[in-house]
């Protein structure tokens, strides 16, 4: 008998949420067969079985958040060799059962199936698990079942944040705690643009130009060491809204790519996000971020910088407004711009120069 622990999936994350099991208890599996799908901060990852054998126990239910190194499933192995069962990298063999369960609360009444995290939640909410009908695999009780049973008790009535929204809440809290945010605004007149111009593409190109003019904005800042790292390549995060929450995929090396290549990259990125098939690595490593929130609404915004980045540019809703051009008033298409930056690492002058470079690039034909 061996216990398979949630491996480090290579994203530097501490936990993952169970999305769906692909096997039931008592099922015979072979090594590398899909075992379970888990959701990390922004991506759904399929975890294969590390061994061949029989799954004797599923240690978590869909909706449960499992820490890296915590039990996922128990196996009765066909060949109980020394296979460490690693999925990404190398994991040490599972500790004895007594060690792996040392911090778990006592098991519930006989016949009740619930993971340790679910039992803890039930104890906090004062819910009797014996009275709860489980909706998980084989009738297992999930966190959602406990929350529903809690009803109007303290903590009841709230819907736990899951997946992308949970990651967003964690990232925003971290940004609020770490970043010394400041915002400057301006606008770009789009009079010279041809009909049908791609706004997002032009913004991407303008940011690449601005990063050359003012490299201090294309940087990471380490607050613990009071040190910054300037990047020669612009790996641009594109803030993307979905019904599930906010994604920020990365468009790599935007400064050296043609317009057609960037357009194809943006199209593929959107398709991957809609299908939830974007690889985890494509959601990491942003050196600066763009938010084209004006496609939904709004003019200016004090945006949120996600560390270790030091800047994010927001583009508001394009409107037609009167402006003085060559000594006369005429209607002009105007794009509002908001640049939020981490004032620990970026000066106001650097931010202003960056924003002016964006404006000049956008106002070209």
Q: Are 230 and 357 in the same domain?
A: yes
Q: Which range of residues forms the domain containing residue 197? A: 166-362
> Closest by alpha carbon to 238, among 250, 252, 254, 255?
250
Give 15's strand partners: 67
**Domain assignment of residue 279, yes or no:** yes
Which CATH number characterizes residue 24's domain? 2.40.50.100
- Cβ of 341: how many Cβ atoms within 10 Å? 29
- Count the helices and strands in the chain (H runs, E runs): 7, 19
The C-alpha atoms of residue 237 and residue 248 are separated, in whole angstroms, by 5
Tell me the backbone φ, ψ of residue 146, rounded to 5 degrees: -65, -45
Write down which residue in 160, 193, 228 finishes a domain: 160
Task: Give residue 68's pLDDT.
Answer: 84
Q: What tens-digit pLDDT sequence spans the chain (365 residues)?
A: 899 999 887 656 678 888 889 999 999 999 889 999 888 766 778 899 999 999 999 999 888 888 888 999 999 987 544 443 433 333 333 333 333 333 344 444 446 777 666 777 788 778 888 888 877 656 778 777 777 777 745 455 677 777 788 888 888 999 999 999 999 999 999 999 998 899 999 999 999 999 999 999 999 999 999 999 999 999 999 999 888 788 999 999 999 999 999 999 999 999 998 888 888 889 899 999 999 999 999 999 999 999 999 999 999 999 999 999 889 999 999 999 999 999 999 999 999 999 999 999 999 98
Tell me if 188 sits within 8 A of 362, measured CB to CB. yes
Task: Give residue 145's pLDDT.
Answer: 77
**Domain assignment of residue 299, yes or no:** yes
Task: Give residue 138's pLDDT.
Answer: 63
Give 183's strand partners: 340
**Domain assignment of residue 110, yes or no:** no
Which CATH number characterizes residue 307's domain? 3.30.559.10
> Closest by alpha carbon to 61, among 165, 143, 164?
143
State the average pLDDT for the chain.
Answer: 85
**Domain assignment of residue 215, yes or no:** yes
Task: Give residue 116's pLDDT.
Answer: 63
**Domain assignment of residue 108, yes or no:** no
Which CATH number characterizes residue 122's domain? 4.10.320.10
**Domain assignment of residue 71, yes or no:** yes
Question: Tokens representing 363?
Answer: 């106002």
Q: Are 141 and 93 in the same domain?
A: no
Q: Are 171 and 205 in the same domain?
A: yes
Q: Looking at the 3D structure of the chain, how many domains does it have?
A: 3
Give 342's strand partners: 181
Contacts of 214 (CB under 8 A, 6+ apart): 350, 353, 354, 357
234 to 52, 215, 231, 258, 313: CA distances (angstroms): 45, 10, 7, 14, 14
Task: Give residue 288's pLDDT.
Answer: 98
Tell me if 25 sits within 8 A of 138, measured CB to CB. yes
Counting beta carbons within 10 angstroms of the beta carbon of residue 253, is it exposed (0 to 12), middle (13 to 18) or buried (19 or more)? middle
């Amino acid at each position: 008998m061996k216990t398979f622990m949630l491996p480090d999936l290579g994203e530097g994350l501490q936990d993952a949420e169970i999305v769906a099991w692909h096997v039931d208890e008592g099922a015979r599996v072979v090594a590398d067969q899909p075992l379970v799908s888990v959701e990390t901060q922004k991506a759904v990852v399929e975890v294969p079985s590390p061994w061949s054998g029989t799954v004797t126990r599923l240690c978590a239910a869909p909706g449960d958040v499992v820490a890296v190194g915590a039990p996922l499933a128990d196996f009765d192995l066909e060949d109980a060799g020394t296979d460490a069962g690693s999925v990404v990298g190398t994991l040490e063999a599972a500790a004895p059962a007594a060690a792996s369960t040392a911090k778990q609360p006592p098991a519930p009444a006989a016949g009740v199936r619930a993971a340790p995290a679910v039992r803890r939640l039930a104890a906090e909410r004062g819910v009797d698990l014996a009275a709860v009908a489980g909706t998980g695999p084989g009738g297992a009780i999930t966190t959602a079942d406990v929350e529903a049973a809690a009803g109007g008790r303290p903590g009841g009535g709230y819907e736990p944040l899951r997946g992308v929204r949970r990651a967003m809440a964690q990232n925003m809290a971290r940004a609020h705690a770490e970043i010394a945010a400041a915002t400057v605004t301006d606008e770009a007149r789009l009079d010279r643009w041809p009909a049908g111009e791609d706004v997002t593409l032009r913004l991407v190109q303008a940011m690449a130009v601005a990063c050359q003019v003012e490299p201090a904005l294309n940087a990471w800042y380490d607050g613990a060491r009071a040190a910054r790292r300037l990047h020669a390549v612009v790996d641009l995060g594109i803030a993307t809204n979905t019904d599930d929450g906010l994604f920020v995929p990365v468009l790599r090396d935007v400064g050296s790519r043609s317009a057609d290549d960037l357009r194809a990259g943006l199209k593929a990125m959107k398709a991957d996000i809609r299908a939830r098939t974007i690889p985890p690595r494509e959601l990491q490593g942003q050196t600066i971020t763009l938010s084209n929130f004006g496609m939904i609404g709004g003019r200016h915004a004090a945006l949120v910088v996600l560390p270790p980045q030091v800047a994010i540019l927001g583009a508001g809703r394009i409107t037609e407004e009167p402006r003085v051009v060559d000594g006369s008033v005429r209607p002009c298409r105007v794009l509002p711009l908001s640049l939020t930056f981490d004032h620990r690492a970026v000066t106001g002058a650097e931010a202003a120069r960056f924003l002016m470079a964006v404006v000049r690039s956008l106002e070209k034909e």
